[in-house]
Amino acid sequence: MKKSVITIPLLLIATILTIFFGRRYAAHQQEEMDNNQLLIVEEATDDETEADQSSQYNETETDSLSHSIEEYESRIDSLSLYETLDYLSLTNEDVTVAYYGDIDAEAEWVSLVNNYLNTAVSGNLTISNFTYPQEDTYELYIQQTTQSLTSENPDVIFYGLPALPDKIRDIGLAETEQYMTALVSQLNDLDTTELILIEPYPIVNEINQLNSRSLDYRSYLGRMQQVASELAVPIIPLHDEFTSRTEESGLEAFYTEDNTQLNQEGVELVVTILDEWFQQDL
For 227-269, the pLDDT digits (tens) are 999 999 999 999 999 999 999 999 999 999 999 999 999 999 9
Q: What was the pLDDT predicted at 56?
A: 47
Dihedral sign, Cα of residue 29, residue 30, residue 31, residue 36: positive
Q: What was the pLDDT predicted at 93?
A: 87
Q: Are 122 and 86 in contact (CB under 8 A)?
A: yes
Looking at residues 165-187, what average pLDDT do you find? 98
Burial classification of residue 226, based on how many CB atoms lie within 10 Å of its CB (0-12 exposed, 13-18 middle, 19 or more buried): middle
Backbone angles phi, psi at 281, to 5 degrees: -65, 135
Q: Which residue, 145, 148, 156, 160, is CA-closest to 98?
A: 156
Q: Distance (Å, rounded) from C-alpha 131 to C-alpha 140?
A: 10
Model confidence at 191, pLDDT cuts 50, 70, 90, reads confident
Model confidence at 1, pLDDT cuts 50, 70, 90, reads very low
Q: Are 125 and 185 in contact (CB under 8 A)?
A: no
Q: Are 212 and 170 in contact (CB under 8 A)?
A: yes
Q: What was the pLDDT predicted at 276?
A: 98
Q: Are 79 and 72 in contact (CB under 8 A)?
A: yes
Taking only the tens place, the pLDDT of each residue in 64-78 is: 555 589 999 999 999
Question: Whole-model pTM above 0.85?
Answer: no
* 41-50, 68-77, 114-123, range with the lowest pLDDT: 41-50
Report CA 83 to chain centroid distance, whole Å: 12
3-state secondary structure of 197: strand
Q: What was the pLDDT predicted at 59?
A: 46
Model confidence at 33, pLDDT cuts 50, 70, 90, reads low
**Helix axis angle, 108-120 relative to 264-278, nearest 10°?**
30
Q: Distance (Å, rounded) from C-alpha 139 to C-alpha 129?
A: 17
Across the chain, mean pLDDT equals 85
Q: Which residues of 68-84 are buried (b: 16+ CB within 10 A; e: fewer)?
A: beeebeeeeeebebbbb
Q: At residue 81, does pLDDT exceed 50?
A: yes
**Helix axis angle, 238-245 relative to 264-278, nearest 10°?**
120
Q: At residue 203, does pLDDT exceed 70?
A: yes
